[in-house]
Amino acid sequence: MAMLHCLRRIRLLSPLVPHRHEVSLEFAASSSPSRTIAPEPNTVAAALMVTAPHQFHERYGFSLQAYSTERLRPRSDACYKTLLPYAGSFNGSIARVARAATAVVAARQHGFADELARLKLRGTGAGPRADMTLASCYEEVASNDMDDGNETLGRLDRLVAGRSKDEFDWESSLVVLWLGSTLGVMEDCTDWLNDAGKAAASSPVVKEVIAGCAALSPYIRIALHLAHAIKF
pTM above threshold 0.85: no
80-99 residue pLDDT tens: 677 777 777 777 788 888 89
Rg for the chain (alpha carbons), in Å?
19
> pLDDT band at residue 62, thresholds of 50, 70 and 90?
very low
- Which pLDDT value is given to residue 226? 86
Q: Looking at residues 40-50, what average pLDDT do you find?
A: 30
- Angle at Cα 66 formed by Cα 64 and Cα 70, nearest 5°? 95
In order, the DSSP letters of 121-147 are HH--SS-HHHHHHHHHHHHHHHHTSHH
Residue 113 has pLDDT above 80, yes or no: yes
Q: Looking at residues 96-112, what average pLDDT do you find?
A: 91
The top-scoring range by mean pLDDT among 91-105, 137-151, 209-223 is: 209-223
- pLDDT > 90: percent of the chain: 44
- Which pLDDT value is given to residue 78? 67
Per domain, the residue ranges of the chain are: 1-232
| Superfamily of segment(s) 1-232 | Invertase/pectin methylesterase inhibitor family protein (1.20.140.40)
- Which pLDDT value is given to residue 191? 97
Q: Are 155 and 175 in contact (CB under 8 A)?
A: yes
Q: Are 26 and 1 in contact (CB under 8 A)?
A: no
> CB-based contacts of 192: which residues, under 8 Å, 6+ apart?
133, 136, 137
How far apart, in whole angstroms, are the C-alpha atoms of residue 223 and residue 16?
25
Q: What is the mean pLDDT of the chain?
A: 73
119-140 residue pLDDT tens: 999 999 999 999 999 999 999 9
